[in-house]
Amino acid sequence: MARRGKLGQWWLANVRQPLMYAGLVSVMELLHALPLDNASGGFGRLFRWLGPKLPYSNRARRNLELAFPGIVVAERERIVAGMWDNFARVICEYAHLDTIIREADKRLEIVGAERLDALRDDGRPGLLFSAHFASFEMVTVAARMRSLPISVVYRNANNLAIDAYIRRRQGAGGIELIRKGIRGARRLLEVMQGGSHVIMLVDQKMNEGIAVPFFGHPAMTAPALAQLAYRYDCPVVPVRVERVAGSRFRVVCEQPLALPRSGDRAADVLALMTLVNRTIEDWVRARPEHWFWLHRRWPKDARPRSPGE
């Protein structure tokens, strides 16, 4: 058994991971060689057709039934197809981040830009949150456009070469990536103490988190956003991305959330994260095809509620 385990580790480190890295880089280079709008549109149409046929889509269907009790099959399938269309476009747009940054004035509209400016100029640390919604990387492009220094908290890839590739690409765009984990937590505190700004995508499951309602079901949610907000008494700004047409976007910076202040820190953290999840719910209800429904967001034993429950 020990020998088989060592062989598996060798295979992973010396064959599988290098092949995955080479495959990723090859795909990114191919997409980058194509005009952005052609790549985004073409791959979007391909995956709108192909994605619903993949087994992964069954998880999206289950999640949709949990979130929208009684959803009709035709509407569910429309959302699943739209999700894959958007997902394929996001991959293309990630390969073309340099193009989007260069053409930001014609590809990106910012609604509520004054709120980014206020974060930039108030001399305090600040928190922004978003979700895996539409082309979520556009939040960092908007921050660049308003000269807002920002760091991104992210979950590192298991493949070290792929993780390094992601960090190089974002670093070239002037964005610092902070890995989740103990070392990342230390860096996160340094950034906040230095008066800078951090954005978090807060719509994924965290087993060590707290149970917070999301579409009527308890969902394990990372409390770090709320904990930092109270620790540094800083603004918490919701930022969503809307796909307007093709690879053109609207980044909407909403009013900062009011921090609940009951005097009970644990209760306040839960209350604030409930507001955060409710905000994301509103975004998803408005454009459900733009959310990534493949996440394992709810417990395995969660069951669809009765309509109107």
pLDDT tens readout for residues 127-160: 999 999 999 889 999 999 999 999 988 777 666 7
pTM (2 d.p.): 0.89
Residue 143 lies in a domain: yes
Query: Strand 197-201 vs strand 126-130: parallel, antiparallel, or unpaired?
Result: parallel
Tell me the CB-side half-sphere exposure of residue 80, using CA atoms within 13 A: 25
> Would you state the pLDDT for residue 9?
63
Residue 242 lies in a domain: yes
The range of the structural domain enclosing residue 166 comes to 102-292
Residue 283 lies in a domain: yes
Residue 286 lies in a domain: yes
DSSP calls for 191-228 = HHHTT-EEEEE--S--TTSEEEEETTEEEEE--HHHHH
Residue 59 lies in a domain: no
> Would you state the pLDDT for residue 15?
63
- Give the pLDDT means over successive 10-residue stretches in the chain (309 positions): 56 66 82 93 96 96 96 98 96 91 95 96 95 92 92 75 72 72 82 91 90 96 95 96 95 97 96 98 97 93 73
Residue 107 lies in a domain: yes
pLDDT tens readout for residues 13-31: 566 777 777 877 788 888 8
How many structural domains does the chain have? 1
Residue 246 lies in a domain: yes
Residues 59 and 293 sit within 8 Å (Cβ to Cβ) = yes
Residue 222 lies in a domain: yes
